[in-house]
Amino acid sequence: MQDNTILKLAYDISQMTRDKVGAIESIMTTTKILALNARIEAGRAGSAGAAFGVVAEEIGNVSAEINHIASDFRDAVEAHTKEIEEAGGRMMIDFRGQRFTDLSLNAIEIIDRNLFERSCDVRWWATDSALVAAAGSDDQDRLAYASSRLATILRSYVVYLDLWVADANGQVVANGRPDRYPNALGLDVSRSAWFQQAMRTVSGDEFAVTDIARNPALGDAAVATYATAIREEGREDGAKVGVLGIFFDWTPQALDVVEGVGLSDEERAHCRVMLLDAEHRVIADATGKGELGSHYPLRTDGRERGYYVDDQRLVAFALTPGYETYKGLGWYGVIECDLSGAGRAGLTET
């Protein structure tokens, strides 16, 4: 990397200057000692050594002046080298900050494009005639058929843990994996945010989505829940007869995104890639350090994207821009990197 080359050249120049000036000072010290010895011998020689004493005195003066010039030269080079190193360091931070900001944006965009598809899925599947029939009925054959339809979907869409049909009262009447999640059937979800939001939708074009949360009925797995109302005859303006809830298997999909961010091996050793929700709670962490829901002290200062340095940490972030009709949930992509000690060395590799 060019910035790193500049810093290395500056350091090499400074080191060579110290070495060469040190050698000059060593020679001048020897010269001063010789001049001193010469003056002593000239004094012993009396009037015959007077002229030689004058020469020895001048050699001592020249030696002292050379030492002074060498010292000034060394101080000037070190001062300029320090300025070059500081300027190069700022360039390095700016380069990395901009790059990590772009990578943070890319990570959150990938997630939103993925979740946009989930919003399409739930609105499409809610029009399935088997689900419409099951939502407003207690007929066991209809419910069994709806369950089989959900199971068929799940065999193709492996990113979901389960799909639930709830009636208008909030009771789950069918799910796609009753063998794996038997506790889902008969569950009262009427107080769940996703059910209530789905029942408040005004048309089949709308959907509900909630923040990442663990679902006890799904083995306490972290899920992104999407829902929409099931309407009579599957019509966009039909009366609401129930709700379809779909549960996106969050952890493996999110880890694929944060672990797939384009960092070098050295950067990855000293950086932490995360996704945060709108409350700055960790919802994905490539290092595995952040517990789901733990708070991260992100400072945006009102910006949608950017970076800052705080206590030897470079933190880059980007707010979700949304994707097509999916506005996003105010989530952030974040990359935090260690700038101290070995971390700085890791971040300046070419």
Hey, where are the domains in the chain?
2-90, 117-250, 254-347
Q: pLDDT digit string (tens) for 245-268?
A: 999 999 999 999 999 999 988 889
* Confidence tier at 218 by pLDDT (50, 70, 90): very high
**3-state per-residue secondary structure call for the chain:** CHHHHHHHHHHHHHHHHHHHHHHHHHHHHHHHHHHHHHHHHHHHCHHHHHHHHHHHHHHHHHHHHHHHHHHHHHHHHHHHHHHHHHHHHHHHHHHHHHHHHHHHHHHHHHHHHHHHHHHHHHHHHCCCHHHHHHHCCCCHHHHHHHHHHHHHHHHHCCCEEEEEEEECCCEEEEECCCCCCHHHCCCECCCCHHHHHHHCCCCCCCCEECCCEEEHHHCCEEEEEEEEEEEHHHCCCCCEEEEEEEEEEHHHHHHHHHHCCCCCHHHHHHEEEEEECCCCEEEEECCCCCCCCCECCCCCCCCCEEEEEECCEEEEEEECCCECCECCCCCEEEEEEECCCHHHHHHCCC
Looking at the chain, the whole-number percentage of residues with pLDDT higher than 70 is 74
Q: What is the pLDDT of residue 343?
A: 45
* Confidence tier at 276 by pLDDT (50, 70, 90): very high
* Confidence tier at 23 by pLDDT (50, 70, 90): low
Per-residue pLDDT, averaged over 114-121, amounts to 92
Domains 117-250 and 254-347 share a fold: yes
Q: What is the pLDDT of residue 91?
A: 73
Q: What is the pLDDT of residue 7?
A: 57
Per-residue pLDDT, averaged over 12-32, amounts to 68
Looking at the chain, the whole-number percentage of residues with pLDDT higher than 90 is 60
Tokens of 186: 């008969």
Opening angle at CA 277, ends 275 and 279, nearest 5: 135
Burial of residue 90 (number of CB atoms within 10 Å: 0-12, 13-18, 19+)? exposed
Lowest mean pLDDT among 70-74, 145-149, 234-238, 276-280: 70-74
How many angstroms separate the most distant Cα atoms in the chain? 133
Per-residue pLDDT, averaged over 122-126, amounts to 96
Cβ–Cβ contacts within 10 Å for residue 33, how many? 12
- 292 vs 29, which has greater pLDDT? 292
CA–CA distance, 85 with 77 (Å, rounded to integer): 12
* Confidence tier at 336 by pLDDT (50, 70, 90): very high
Lowest mean pLDDT among 70-74, 107-111, 192-196, 302-306: 70-74
The helix-helix angle for 50-125 and 250-259 (nearest 10°) equals 150
- 127 vs 58, which has greater pLDDT? 127
Tokens of 234: 């599957």
Q: What is the pLDDT of residue 240?
A: 96
Tokens of 102: 């772009």
Q: Is the pLDDT of residue 58 over 50?
A: yes
Q: What is the pLDDT of residue 289?
A: 80
Q: Please count the residues of the chain.
A: 350
Q: Is the pLDDT of residue 345 over 50?
A: no
- Residue range 117-250, CATH number: 3.30.450.20
Per-residue pLDDT, averaged over 320-347, amounts to 78
Whether residue 107 contacts residue 285, with contact meaning beta carbons closer than 8 Å, is answered with no
Record the pTM: 0.74
CA–CA distance, 278 with 121 (Å, rounded to integer): 24
Residue 241 main-chain phi, psi, to 5 deg = -115, -5
Lowest mean pLDDT among 95-104, 169-178, 288-297: 288-297
Per-residue pLDDT, averaged over 85-103, amounts to 81
Class of 2-90 in CATH: mainly alpha
- 91 vs 350, which has greater pLDDT? 91
Q: What is the pLDDT of residue 339?
A: 85
The CATH architecture annotation of domain 254-347 reads 2-Layer Sandwich (3.30)
Tokens of 257: 């995104």
What's the sign of the alpha-carbon dihedral 127, 153, 275, 262?
negative
- 81 vs 346, which has greater pLDDT? 81
The helix-helix angle for 50-125 and 2-44 (nearest 10°) equals 170
CA–CA distance, 266 with 344 (Å, rounded to integer): 10
Q: What is the pLDDT of residue 83?
A: 64
